[in-house]
């Protein structure tokens, strides 16, 4: 019989996993009504940036390029090893990226569940250290994390209509340069939340528009054991799974094809995590 996790709270109703799959007990209560509730506070919000037509969404200055390269160097040499040691990161299915690399000649989009402060590091390690640009919720750029978010390739998603053309132009330039783009289609982070929340359709609209494959990735959890309990007794260890690329059918309907890709990515991620019954649908239209 599959274990019932409804005692974990309303956001775990009807959640069941395969035998042997580890589900960490939450230390906060997640919303069972709104899967897009923002749980992580903005640290030290002290700026007043306007994300409109005056904001620089894609910084092409020499100063930024040097900073971006330096941050990536630190990421590779310091953060990646720490992620392996502290969170025991394991990567499963990375050979699929190598095997399908011809599909990625014009760029690619990766998507992943948003469950940890370092989940983007997990994605980068699974991508074999490829750089990626990450459209992000704008408001945290006003806080203490804004500097590092932009330095690692974060692009603020504008909150005002006037900023949308420049945001779209930035993404057009990245696609023209055949860059990799990453999105968290759940839109906000729920720390160590095992179920998979609904996806916003925007990521898949973008993949359809640019005719680029989507690589689904899924972070699952393992119990913390052995010497890694020195860092924490409660936080789980991490495994990131890499799925097969989902290629858009550009001859299909612009209305139907992004939804098909979203549903396919959601199902692939559920399967990779060993989730049998999920409390949320693939999307809320």
Q: For 160-191, what is the HEC assignment?
A: CHHHHHHHHHHHHHHHHCCCEEEECCCCCCCC
In a domain, 11, yes or no: no
149, pLDDT greater than 90: no
In a domain, 59, yes or no: yes
In a domain, 170, yes or no: yes
Coil/strand/helix, residue 251 = coil
**Long-range pairs for 69-78: beta carbons < 8 A, 24 or more residues apart:** 71/148, 71/151, 71/152, 72/131, 72/152, 75/121, 75/124, 75/152, 76/129
Q: Which of 219, 218, 214, 220 is nearest to 264 (CA)?
A: 214
In a domain, 257, yes or no: yes
In a domain, 14, yes or no: no
User: Is 222 exposed, middle or buried (CB count within 10 Å of its CB: 0-12, 13-18, 19+)?
Assistant: middle
Give kind and range of the element (H or E) at residue 134: strand 134-137
3, pLDDT greater than 90: no
**Number of domain units in the chain:** 1
List, in order, residues 6 or more apart from 70 with CB less than 8 Å away. Answer: none
Written as six digits, the tokens of 193 are 């939340």
Q: Enter the DSSP assignment of 117.
A: T
Task: Categorize the per-residue pLDDT at 274 as very low, low, confident or very high, splitting at 50, 70 and 90.
Answer: very high
In a domain, 15, yes or no: no
The pLDDT value recorded for residue 150 is: 86
Most confident of 65-74, 149-158, 226-235, 256-265: 256-265
CATH of residue 268's domain is 3.40.1130
Instruction: Output helix, strand, coil percentages for the chain, rounded to the nearest 5.
Output: 35, 15, 50
The pLDDT value recorded for residue 1 is: 61
The pLDDT value recorded for residue 23 is: 97
Structural domain of 201 = 34-39+46-277
In a domain, 18, yes or no: no
CA–CA separation, 12 and 239 (whole Å): 21
Task: Categorize the per-residue pLDDT at 129 as very low, low, confident or very high, splitting at 50, 70 and 90.
Answer: low
Residue 182 near residue 134, CB atoms below 8 Å: yes
The pLDDT value recorded for residue 138 is: 86
Residues of the chain above pLDDT 90, percent: 65
| Paired strand residues for 154 | 134
Distances (CA, A) of 142 to 29, 42, 147, 157: 26, 8, 9, 13
Better pLDDT: 254 or 204: 204
User: Is 161 exposed, middle or buried (CB count within 10 Å of its CB: 0-12, 13-18, 19+)?
Assistant: exposed
Residues of the chain above pLDDT 70, percent: 98
In a domain, 268, yes or no: yes
């Amino acid at each position: 019989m599959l274990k019932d996790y409804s005692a974990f709270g309303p956001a775990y109703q009807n959640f069941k996993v395969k035998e042997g799959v580890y589900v960490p007990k939450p230390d906060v209560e997640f919303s069972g009504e709104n899967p897009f509730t923002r749980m992580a506070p903005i640290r030290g919000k002290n700026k007043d940036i306007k994300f409109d037509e005056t904001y620089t969404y894609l910084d092409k200055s020499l100063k930024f390029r040097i900073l971006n390269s330096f941050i990536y160097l630190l990421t590779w040499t310091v953060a990646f090893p720490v992620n392996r040691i502290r969170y025991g990161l394991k990567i499963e299915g990375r050979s699929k990226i190598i095997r399908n690399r011809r599909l990625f000649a014009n760029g690619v989009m990766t998507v992943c569940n948003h469950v940890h402060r370092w989940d983007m590091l997990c994605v980068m390690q699974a991508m074999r250290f490829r750089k990626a640009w990450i459209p992000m919720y704008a408001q945290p750029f006003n806080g203490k994390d804004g500097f590092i978010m932009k330095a690692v390739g974060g692009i603020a998603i504008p909150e005002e209509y006037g900023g949308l053309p420049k945001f779209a132009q930035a993404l057009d330039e990245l696609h023209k340069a055949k860059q990799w783009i990453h999105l968290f289609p759940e839109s906000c982070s729920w720390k160590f939340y095992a179920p998979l929340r609904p996806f916003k359709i925007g990521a898949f609209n973008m993949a359809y528009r640019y005719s680029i494959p989507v690589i689904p990735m899924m972070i699952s959890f393992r119990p913390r054991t052995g010497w890694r309990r020195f860092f924490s007794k409660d936080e789980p260890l991490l495994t990131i799974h890499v799925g097969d690329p989902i290629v858009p059918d550009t001859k299909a309907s612009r209305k139907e094809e992004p939804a098909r890709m979203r549903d396919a990515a959601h199902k692939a991620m559920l399967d990779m995590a060993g989730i049998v019954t999920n409390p949320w649908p693939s999307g809320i239209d």
